[in-house]
Chains A and B, each alone.
Chain A
Amino acid sequence: AQSVTQLGSHVSVSEGALVLLRCNYSSSVPPYLFWYVQYPNQGLQLLLKYTTGATLVKGINGFEAEFKKSETSFHLTKPSAHMSDAAEYFCAVSAGGDMRFGAGTRLTVKP
């Protein structure tokens, strides 16, 4: 069975600073990996995904993530945080017909 672990339930950065949200996965087969964002009282929205091919994937709102098989990681980054990035971020893995999520990381952006 596949699973993900998100390191850090809460990350706080200053506006303009680098955002780094960590995700490690476990899967017995090559996985597909995802980052979703959830704003308060809203559903989950896909930020980006890795399926096959290029290991550095770019998503919406300036976010990107790199699949590192040797480290079983899929960390999410953004060079410069914006106030509107404050939300809950979830890493997810699919290694079959379903998708499993991590516990989430709440990103706070300070002015």
Chain B
Amino acid sequence: DTGVSQNPRHKITKRGQNVTFRCDPISEHNRLYWYRQTLGQGPEFLTYFQNEAQLEKSRLLSDRFSAERPKGSFSTLEIQRTEQGDSAMYLCASSPGGMFVTEAFFGQGTRLTVV
């Protein structure tokens, strides 16, 4: 297993366009998380899945953002009508199940630039 994989690594898009990112978690992990990180800040929680169920979504996440994990394996994060403020690093992480998170394994991230 090569760990958590995110694609693409970099994305430049024009304001108003839609973008979609993909995350492939570690295969036996049933939890998957999305975070957003801007320069000089910590990862900001966006949403997480337990298998295919989306269990929590940040109130900071506007309705332009949607995430799916249709078969409980890979996940996609879509941003519609992108804005310059969406420019950030989008991080995906996965972890085994259990009541608490015992360790989250992170991908390299997708850096989004909205011009």
| Binary A-proximity of B80-115 (CB < 8 A = 1, otherwise 0) | 000000000001010100011111111111000000
Cβ–Cβ contact B56 & A43, under 8 A:
no
Question: CA of A101 to CA of B58 in the docked complex: distance in angstroms?
Answer: 14
Interface residues of B in 37-55 (CB under 8 A from A): 40-45, 48, 50, 55
| Binary A-proximity of B45-73 (CB < 8 A = 1, otherwise 0) | 10010100001100000000000000000
Q: A97-B56, A98-B33 are in contact. Are A43 and B45 (CB under 8 A)?
A: no
A9 at interface by CB-CB < 8 Å: yes
Q: For B22, list chain A residues within 8 Å (CB).
A: none
Q: Interface residue tally of chain B, by bracket?
A: 20 to 34
Q: Interface residue tally of chain A, by bracket?
A: 20 to 34
Question: CA of A64 to CA of B55 in the docked complex: distance in angstroms?
Answer: 33
A100 at interface by CB-CB < 8 Å: yes
A-B contact pairs, 13 of them (CB 8 A): A6-B42, A32-B100, A32-B101, A43-B106, A46-B104, A51-B102, A90-B43, A97-B31, A98-B45, A99-B33, A99-B104, A101-B43, A104-B41
A interface residues with partner B (beta carbon < 8 Å):
6, 9, 32, 34, 36, 42-46, 49, 51, 90, 92, 94-104, 106
